[in-house]
Chain A
Amino acid sequence: MAKYKLKVNGKMMEAEVDPTTPVLWVLRDHLNLVGTKYGCGVGSCGACTIHLNGKAMKSCQLPVAAVAAQEITTIEGLSESGEHPVQKAWLSLDVAQCGYCQTGQIMAASALLKSKPHPTDEEIETAMNGNICRCGTYVRIKQAIQSAAKNAHQ
């Protein structure tokens, strides 16, 4: 057990956990941020995607001890009230079915648009390929990303 000071969504937070604890479980069990989802625990589904220093990262593969001063952003911190252009695009395209994977998809998509504001279809597919949607909403996800890219630069 050790005490970790983490910068999450712009705030300093503290958790006393085993150093090997994945950030996923620190967020969910200790910091009460449950928007980051557990899907596989082996980095294969992307439901747990967060931003680490602005880059998409699978939080089930990130031990808390490795975070240090790096900034964590979760879906709860992506925008004040669900108003991020990617979230808005998700709503206007009515993407979700069961909805469980969508926070991870949104985190992956928003990280992509930060590094590539105008991604091609192929770039979207590559960046998003680590995020599974078992309901199969991929067509709408891609449309939402294209729409967010367009709207953010109008």
Chain B
Amino acid sequence: MENISTNNSRRSFLKITSLTGGGMMIGFSWLANLIPNEALAEIAAPKEWVELTGFIKITADNEITIFCPNPEFGTNVMTSLPMMVAEELEADWKKIKVEMGDYDTPRFKSQFTGGSRAMNMAWVPLRTAGATARMLLLQAAANEWNVSVSELTASNSYVAHKASNKSVTYGALAAAAAKLPKPEKVSLKKISDFTLLGTPQKNVVGKNIVSGNPLFTLDYKQEGMLIAMVIHPPAFGMKLKSFDGTVAKKMAGIQDVFEIQVYKDGYTRAGFDTRAFNNLVAVVGKTTWEVINARKKVLVEWEAMATYTESVAGRGGKKMETIPGGLESTDEHLAQMNEMQKKPGKILRKDGDPEAAFAKAKKILERTYSAPFLSHNPMEPISCVAHITDEKAFFVAPIQIPEMMKQNIIANLDIPAEKIEMKLARMGGGFGRRAYGHYIIEAGLISKKVKAPVKLIYTREDDMTNGIYRPTYMVSFKAAIDENNQVTALHIKGGGIPENSIHENRFPAGSIENYMAEGWDIPSNITIGAFRAPRSNFIASAEQSFLDELAETIGKDPIDFRIELLQKAKTKPVGKNNEYDAARYIGVLELVKQKSNWSQSNNKNRGVAAYFCHSSYAAHVVEVSIKDGQPQVENVVTAMDCGFVVNPEGAKNMVEGAVVDGIGNALYGGMRFEKGVPMQKNLNQYRIIRHKETPKKIDVHFVQNTIDPTGLGEPPFPPVFAAVANALYKATGKRLYNQPYLKELTKS
């Protein structure tokens, strides 16, 4: 047992209240440790601690409801987080109801889903909350029966006294339990005593999903609700000049056509307030089809947007950011990035004497990799419901980080914090896109103007051409090899538009004596946002492709070569701040080697890659075939180390999905721009992986350990790209350096 003080966090809060009609409610709020990472680095509030809040409600008739604090966009937190509560509460999982908590200013101080943080952040707080409730219920029964707590057992939502053969429901005890003082200390169960955590459990929302019940923002309706759409410039680098909505306004069902300015002049943007276009034309009407038709009849004139500066409060405080004018094109982007590769970049890390090692090298291997902008394309296009009245500002918002939107709502909608009421709808995918809630402000502004509830709907075209993409990147890897075929130096140099592509402290840093990482970036008016394992999703593809080619160059097996490097990092690490645990990294490589029966004779069409990010380790072995010149991934073997696996069913599903997503983005993904205009506007132009291209089998294995759990939403994704490229090399003899790989592979 692990004894946990209910007051021992730097800040903690546990509130026990009685429910009318008997029953109890336990509200909890802990500051959970947060390791800063790139996806969340922009969070303005405490850098190292994030508050986690939730509720457990037990009614007199033994109905137990757990309110899930984190917004759900498909990573299954609504199942796995309540499992943590139920385990310690000793509640009957089958009868537990799980509900999404609303964004609620006084109660939920901070809520977000992102950065693969949910499991790790919730691990201690949620179990402590469950254990606290269990202790109170046991004490209430002990008082009632006049026995000691040690004589009682709690299980399946009942407290039993074996000696007298008595038992009572939690519900019957809840009213009395709610009046007891909060225990100072509670004991958490040992992992070996778990009966629920670590067992496969199905998605608690599954039945609602397969029945087509309204769960998503787009499904929400209320009396008098209008439909709104916005028209944004057709190109990045353009802005609204004027519009004429006369014809549109006369069309059936159309209520109004007007301009909205999303953020006020002089507004200091926070990290998640990104938006490409600040002035939009809103079209509001009764039904979706009427608005879709009317927007085509709005005459809009656009003009070139001049370079401007904007105040941004992000990492490292407030600063001015310059957004360049001009109409950018993909071909120019590539030329610009190639140019930057020739100039010195900013030195991000240097170990040993790389210059000397390169001067002495017998052989040098240098390769350059690139990847395009990617669109998130969540299946549910961007949407938001808003109803702003004098009394309150009501939203139904699909947003990964509700808390980060508060200051934006206050500033740009002139609404005091206490009037904000936000329902957190299930999100039809997010992948990072729904961390950027400009659409909440847009919906709010439109509702204010038309004085009615509105549902803002982005068409797929609106969504795909509106920015917040994965950046475009370039990086080169250069290795020095000595006469003994040893790698003596590594030089990584790269950047992107508009952000750098380097993680300077990731492997192979720490395993090579002489090491240098250089970075650069090029500003752009094409906006970007976190995309499933930001930056890692590119740099892993380059690094793991390069290691494959490097292993081949020096005549080593690619898995053995990685393990050899990691052994060095484990026993005699080079430099400081290495961001990975070499032993766990080796662990997934060894597991994938074993599970895939990796051997020279077996590896004809197979490639391997591994990566560490967002606190978890992943390795894949991918097998491909070529049919009629088209690549097909046949099967995948995956090894993961995410610590203790909370829900093996959900965990496997998550990893399978990340593998499929990785294959699709590696082979097909990409946005192109010509004079600022996005060339891909809908799913008939932007290729997403489909049934036929999916591997026949994805075999997922987890390293079995009892380390505190970490996330799975992002970590399995980045190494998929290189595993595909490395396998395609084996199958075709062609090394792939530029994504999407299909384009490079089929280029003659």
Asked whether A and B interact, the reply is yes
Interface residues of A (CB under 8 A from B): 1, 17-18, 20-22, 25, 28-30, 32-45, 47, 74-76, 81-82, 87, 90-91, 94-103, 106, 121, 124-126, 128-142
Evaluate contact between A140 and B656: CB separation under 8 angstroms.
yes
- Residues of B within 8 Å of A140, CB to CB, are 653, 656
Q: How far is the CB of B633 from chain A (nearest CB, A)?
A: 11
Which residues of chain B from 280 to 310 have any CB-CB distance to chain A below 8 Å in the complex?
A: 287-290, 292-293
Which residues of chain B from 197 to 229 have any CB-CB distance to chain A below 8 Å in the complex?
A: 202-203, 205-207, 209-216, 218-219, 221, 227
Other contacts beyond A42-B684, A99-B74: 7, CB < 8 A: A21-B289, A38-B218, A126-B692, A130-B690, A136-B656, A138-B694, A142-B694
User: B68-97, CB under 8 A of A: which get 1 and which 0?
Assistant: 000001111000000000000000000000
A98 and B210 contact, Cβ closer than 8 Å, known pairs A29-B289, A39-B460, A136-B658: no
A135 and B206 contact, Cβ closer than 8 Å, known pairs A39-B379, A42-B683: no
Interface residues of B (CB under 8 A from A): 73-76, 202-203, 205-207, 209-216, 218-219, 221, 227, 252, 287-290, 292-293, 377-381, 426-431, 457, 459-460, 649-650, 653-654, 656-661, 664, 682-684, 688-692, 694-698
- Residues of B within 8 Å of A126, CB to CB, are 692
Q: How far is the CB of B377 from chain A (nearest CB, A)?
A: 6
Evaluate contact between B691 and A1: CB separation under 8 angstroms.
no
A40 and B202 contact, Cβ closer than 8 Å, known pairs A25-B288, A75-B211, A135-B74: no
Evaluate contact between B289 and A124: CB separation under 8 angstroms.
no
Residue ID in chain A nearest B656 by CB atoms: A139
Residue ID in chain A nearest B376 by CB atoms: A134
Q: How far is the CA of A28 from the CA of B287 in the complex (A)?
A: 10
- Residues of B within 8 Å of A90, CB to CB, are 206, 210
Evaluate contact between B691 and A131: CB separation under 8 angstroms.
yes
Q: How far is the CA of A137 from the CA of B664 in the complex (A)?
A: 13
User: Which of A1, A35, A121, A138 sits near B212, CB closer than 8 Å?
Assistant: A35
Q: How far is the CB of A143 from chain B (nearest CB, A)?
A: 10
Evaluate contact between B75 and A97: CB separation under 8 angstroms.
yes
The total of Cβ contacts below 8 Å across the A-B interface reads 190
Evaluate contact between B218 and A36: CB separation under 8 angstroms.
no
- Residues of B within 8 Å of A44, CB to CB, are 682-684
Q: How far is the CB of B647 from chain A (nearest CB, A)?
A: 10
Q: How far is the CB of B716 from chain A (nearest CB, A)?
A: 11
Residue ID in chain A nearest B717 by CB atoms: A136
Evaluate contact between A129 and B698: CB separation under 8 angstroms.
no
- Residues of A within 8 Å of B657, CB to CB, are 97, 135-137
- Residues of A within 8 Å of B211, CB to CB, are 35, 75-76, 81-82, 87
Q: How far is the CA of A29 from the CA of B62 in the complex (A)?
A: 39
Residue ID in chain B nearest A75 by CB atoms: B212
Evaluate contact between A97 and B74: CB separation under 8 angstroms.
yes
- Residues of B within 8 Å of A101, CB to CB, are 379, 428
- Residues of B within 8 Å of A35, CB to CB, are 211-214
- Residues of B within 8 Å of A34, CB to CB, are 212, 214, 218-219, 221
Q: How far is the CB of A134 from chain B (nearest CB, A)?
A: 5
- Residues of B within 8 Å of A17, CB to CB, are 287, 289
